[in-house]
Amino acid sequence: MQAIKIKNLRKSFGTGWGKRVAVLKDLSLEIKENEIFGYLGANGAGKTTTFKLILGLIHPDQGEVSFWGRPASDFKSRSLLGYLPENPYFYSYLTAGESLDFYASLFDIDAKTKKERIDELLGLVGLEHARDLQLRKFSRGMLQRVGIAQALINDPKLLILDEPMSGLDPMGRKNMRDIILKCREQGKTIIFSTHIISDVETVCDRASILVKGELKQIIDIEDILESEDNIWEIICQAKHFEIPQMLEKEKTEVSDKDAFIHDIDKTVSGNRILLTTSSKNTAYLLMDEVQKQNLNLISFGPRRKNLEEIYIKSTGQADQKGQKESAR
Amino acid sequence: MNKIAAIALNTFRESIRDRIFYSLLFFAVVLLAFSMVLGNLTLAEPVKIIKDFGLGSISIVGTLIAIFVGIGMVYKEMEKKTIYVILSKPIARWQFLIGKYCGLSITIIIEVVVMTVLLFVLCYQYVPQIPFTLFYAIVPIYFELQLILAVAFLFSTFSTSFLSGMFTLSIFIIGHLTKDLKMLAQSGDDIVFQKFANGLYYVFPNLENLNFKARVVHNLGISLPEILFSLLYSALYTAVILILAIFIFERRDIP
């Protein structure tokens, strides 16, 4: 069953003098029940806008959103979800306990359950000691934890988390990942946006890549893990490495389709050089060249392609397309 | 209903923890104390001066509180981004607005009650009897404050705090002048001015309808139906403004 169904969602904002900029372009997406879905995209890609549309905070130009078949425009359907905004802001004069009590009172929860939930959630996020402390005295990481606690106050079926790992220290990030995984065990569906690709690889079932308001790709994380699509890496000790003339020459002449030469990537860091390519043949040609130039080889071998490479390729292609369009 | 009460309680808690509220309340107490000095300096009955000045203080300080807390009601929530978490819960926007409005109404009740008690104590020092007739002026003042609060609230749904404050203050001033302006226009021959004054009179709330201060202080006759009519007028006006605010807020994006 689908937890969220987004159909042809489009949103633009006015920039003055009657001009409008499209922030989200015909987004269609379905998120399955009980999955963890990563929503990847650069700043300004439209991730928060999508969440705000799902929550009814902003109105779409066109398209529709539903949760388990109930339209998102019906405010009562929000009783099914919990939301953690990016850098959450709360009433600073309230204590953590008062804050959770206030948010709980916006649901139809009886007093006994409310008290139990507050105790349980303060324990879950490790804030029992700060229960009676006003939120204005909280650090950013602590506020993030209050944020996740309030998002879980109604024991929601769907959790929407906007950059949940931001502002957290490594331990805090691990705790957040554990909370997300625990929520899935409880049968919840989770969608979260992030810049941190490793977090998506660690916890997500699927991820999508949003570039400038357009959905570029939906990736099954399992597919990446099982993929035999490798990246070849050569690390050698040197300050300079010239990519062979032959490869350089062909690089300019070959078409976009030819990945044989097109994929060489060189990164220089101090006296180390990292060469990567998706082609085995190119990798061996480069190895020959490393030996010819008498460089000190540190490592050479294939590595599994990760989500970061897919993400960078996806956003890179979109950038190239954008540049071509603007050049026209 | 519980959700509206939760928002109202939270808003009330927020506003009474705001320093502006206490500053204005302190200012009100100073004004009342000053009325005592003024009462002693006059040749007329000091208690009349105290009543006059005291009622004026309740009205002015109440208006300032209504404007200062009312203008930030929605805009501040958006500016501080606290609104995102609230509106992501199953609460309708109208419930949020009405809750906020009720919370601030309670704040204004507190201001009016505190000042009324002080005024009564002060009057009692001069004439040892409780001046219940002052309620004929105080209750309409409270209704006027509710109307001003609704106006501030309306502007707050689509404008910044500064502009909302300016607009609300303008409406407060115009609302007290339209009756005089209309009379002035009718006494002249300028048709354009007459139409303009009439326009202002019918579009803006006539706040002088709720001003019974002078008549109460000088014991001039006031009929109960007259007061009830004024209160009904004010309540209806407030309701219409609130409905308009809800209409705007329901349709706007929370960026």
pLDDT tens digits, A21-42? 888 888 999 999 999 999 988 8
Q: Which residues of chain A make contact with B255, given a CB cutoff of 8 A?
A: 13, 58
Q: In this model, does residue B206 exceed pLDDT 80? A: yes
Residues 88-107 of B with CB under 8 A from A: 88-93
DSSP A260-301: HHHT-EEEEETTEEEEEES-HHHHHHHHHHHHHTT-EEEEEE
- On the question of pLDDT at A192 being above 50, the answer is yes
**Chain B contact for A93 (CB, 8 A cutoff):** yes
Contacts of A221 (CB under 8 A, 6+ apart): A38, A200, A201, A204, A205, A206, A207, A307
Pairs of CB atoms within 8 A across A/B: 77
Structure tokens at B83: 């609104």
**Percentage of residues in chain A having pLDDT higher than 70:** 88
Three-class HEC string of chain B: CHHHHHHHHHHHHHHHCCHHHHHHHHHHHHHHHHHHHHHHHCCCCHHHHHHHHHHHHHHHHHHHHHHHHHHHHHHHHHHCCCHHHHHCCCCCHHHHHHHHHHHHHHHHHHHHHHHHHHHHHHHHHHCCCCCHHHHHHHHHHHHHHHHHHHHHHHHHCCCCHHHHHHHHHHHHHHHHHHHHHHHHHHHCCCHHHHHHHHHHHHHCCCHHHHCCHHHHHCCCCCCHHHHHHHHHHHHHHHHHHHHHHHHHHHHCCCC
Q: Where in chain A are the domains?
A: 2-225, 230-304
CA–CA separation, A311 and A308 (whole Å): 5
A249 burial type by CB count under 10 A (0-12 exposed, 13-18 middle, 19+ buried): exposed
Q: Considering only residues 165 to 184 of chain A, which have any Cβ-Cβ distance to chain B shorter than 8 Å?
A: none
| Residue A181 burial (10 A CB sphere; 0-12, 13-18, 19+) | middle
Asked if A102 is an interface residue toward chain B (Cβ–Cβ < 8 A), one would say yes
B10 touches chain A (CB under 8 A): yes
Chain B interface test: which of A92, A94, A106, A160 (most B C-beta within 10 Å)? A106
Least CB-CB distance to A55: which of B3, B88, B92?
Answer: B88
> CB of A83 within 8 A of CB of A55?
yes
Shortest Cα distance, chain A CAs vs residue B68, angstroms: 18
For the A2-225 domain, the top CATH level (class) is: alpha beta
**pLDDT (0 to 100) of residue B236:** 95
Going by C-alpha positions, the residue among B141, B149, B74 that lies closest to residue B105 is: B149
Calpha distance B127→A154 (Å, rounded): 58
> Average pLDDT in the A191-204 region?
85
Closest by CA position to A207, among listed A186, A228, A227, A192: A192
CA A22 to CA A26: how far, in whole Å?
10
What architecture (CATH level 2) is domain A230-304?
2-Layer Sandwich (3.30)
**pLDDT computed for residue A228 by the predictor:** 64
Closest residue of chain B to A57, computed from CA coordinates: B254
- At residue B241 the predicted structure's pLDDT band, cuts being 50, 70 and 90, is very high
Q: Considering only CB atoms, which chain B residues are within 8 Å of A81?
A: 88
What token pair was written down for B39?
Answer: 């009462």
Q: Which residue has the higher pLDDT, B124 or B231?
A: B231
Q: How far apart are CA A245 and CA A273, in angstroms?
A: 18
User: For chain B, how big is the Rg over CA atoms in Å?
Assistant: 20
CB contact under 8 A, B6 and A106: yes
Dihedral of CA A224/A230/A232/A235: which sign?
positive
Which of these ranges, A63-77, A218-232, B44-58, has the smallest mean pLDDT? A218-232
What is the three-class DSSP state of A141? helix
Residue contact A103–B3, C-beta within 8 A: no
Local structure of residue A134 (DSSP, 8 states): B
Neighbouring C-alpha atoms within 13 Å toward the C-beta of A247: 21
DSSP one-letter code for A95: B
Helix (H, G, I), strand (E, B) or coil at A83: strand
CB B227 within 8 A of CB B135: no
DSSP category for residue A186: T
Q: How far apart are CA A185 and CA A172, in angstroms?
A: 20
Looking at the complex, does the CB of residue B76 fall below 8 Å from at least one CB of chain A?
Answer: no
CB proximity B19 to A under 8 Å = no
Of A52, A57, A75, the CB nearest to B90: A75
Q: What digits encode the pLDDT tens for the residues B75-108?
A: 888 888 889 999 999 999 999 999 999 999 998 8
Average pLDDT over residues A151-169: 89
CA distance B250 to chain A (A): 10
Q: Which of A229, A242, A239, A236 is nearest to A303 (CA)?
A: A229
Residue B6 in tokens: 């939760």
DSSP state of A252: H
What is the arithmetic mean of pLDDT over B119-123?
Answer: 86
Give the model's pLDDT for residue B190: 84
Strands A158-162 and A189-194: parallel
A211-257: pLDDT as tens digits:
888 888 888 887 776 666 678 889 998 888 877 766 664 554 444 44
- Which residues in chain A are closer than 8 Å to B88, comparing Cβ atoms? 55, 57, 78, 81, 83, 85, 160
CB-based contact, B13 to chain A, within 8 Å: yes
Q: Starting at the earlier edge strand, list the strands of the sheet with A230-237.
A: A265-269, A272-277, A230-237, A296-304
pLDDT of residue A324: 57
Among the listed residues B184, B183, B180, B178, the one whose alpha carbon sits nearest the alpha carbon of residue B199: B178
pLDDT in tens, B126-158: 878 888 888 889 999 999 999 999 999 899 888
CB-CB: which of A59, A87, A93 is closest to B14? A93
Output Rg (C-alpha) for chain A, integer angstroms.
Answer: 24
Taking Cα atoms as reference points, which of B96, B101, B76 lies closest to residue B12? B101
B88/A102 touch (CB, cutoff 8 Å), yes or no: no
